[in-house]
Structure 1
C-alpha cells in the first residue's frame, strides 16, 4: 500500500505524527488527540507530536488580525 502511494520512504509510525498535526490543525483539543493516540498525559502528546505547522501559524495570525480589527472599530 505504501509503495502504491509513492511513500516507501515513510515509516508506519510517521502516520501518528501526521495524524496529530492534522488533528490539531483541524481544531481538535489536545486531550482528544491524547486519548486518540493512547497517551497517559497531554504533556507527552504535546512534547512528541505537537508540531506547529505553517497552516497553524497562519490561522493564529488570522485570528489575531480579526480580534484587532474588532477592538479597533
Structure 2
C-alpha cells in the first residue's frame, strides 16, 4: 500500500447526467473503487447514491466530505 499521506486527486464523475469534479486523496479513491467493485456498480452510481443521501441530511456536507464520511462510516460498520 502506498503512503496514505498524499494530496487530493481531482477526478470527474457524472451524477444524474451532470459532470462534476471531486478531489479526494488516493486512499479514498481506492476505497470508493473497492466498494463499487464489491457492489458491482460503477463509481458514478455509487457517488450518486452518496450524493442523494447527503442532500437529505439536516446539514449536508460538501460532496467530497460526504464521500469520506460515508466510507469511514462503512469501514466502522464492517
Same fold (TM over 0.5): no
Q: Which has the higher helix share?
A: 1
TM-score (norm 2): 0.28
TM-score (norm 1): 0.29
| Greater gyration radius | 1
